[in-house]
Amino acid sequence: MNESRVRELVDEALLENESLFLIDLSISSDNKIKVTVDGDHGVPLSECVRISRNVEHNLDRESEDFSLEVTTPDISRPLSEMRQYKKNIDRILKVKTQEEEFEGTLIEADDNNIILKWKTREPKPIGKGKVTVEKTATIAYTNIKEAKVKIVF
């Protein structure tokens, strides 16, 4: 299976809806094509169907048999694209860097960094007891080993 041809067909379908973007494209040795797409405002099922049809109708099953799956990212899957961070502003993220782990609300995502905010209890500077303080962390994308959206019920 020609991966560049499949990628070209997926990109062609994605051009019709600029809010969608490719997360992953894989083709196994037995021609199982898996396309994972995400969107700035989610991905309706109709868009997955449209992308699938665009790929499927432009490949020849007679010359090469294949199976095709167009899906959205699993919620347990780490964020991998900058646009995924931007769409998850105001959600709680668990972020691992080389040195530390953070858990906080994503309040900003620009081209280079994300900013997390959270509250924690710390000892009072003077006297006994604890006080609630608000903390923030600015983390560069290059320092992020893994970031996942925390599901809160």
Residue-wise pLDDT for 63-101, tens only, equals 889 999 999 998 889 999 999 999 999 999 999 999 999
Confidence check: pLDDT of 47 > 90: yes
Q: pLDDT tier at 19 (50, 70, 90 boundaries)?
A: very high
SS3 62: coil
Render pLDDT for 20-39 as a digit per residue (tens, 0 to 9).
999 999 999 999 999 999 99
Instruction: Give pLDDT, residue 13.
Output: 95
CA dihedral of 89, 92, 45, 27, whole degrees rounded to 10: 100
Tell me the mean pLDDT in the region 104-122: 96
Integer-rounded Cα Rg, in Å, for the chain is: 20
Confidence check: pLDDT of 119 > 80: yes
Nearest to 50 by CA among 81, 83, 17: 17
Pairing of strands 32-39, 67-71: parallel
Instruction: Give pLDDT, residue 152.
Output: 82
Confidence check: pLDDT of 1 > 80: no
pTM for this entry: 0.83
Tell me the mean pLDDT in the region 111-117: 96
What percentage of the chain carries pLDDT values higher than 90? Answer: 85
DSSP code of 151? P
Q: SS3 for 10-47, per residue?
A: HHHHHHCCCCEEEEEEEECCCCEEEEEEEEECECCHHH
**Helix, strand, coil: what percent of the chain each, to 5?**
20, 45, 35
Instruction: Give pLDDT, residue 113.
Output: 96
80 is written with which tokens? 């991998």
Confidence check: pLDDT of 61 > 90: no
On the 0-12 / 13-18 / 19+ scale of CB atoms within 10 A, 114 is buried
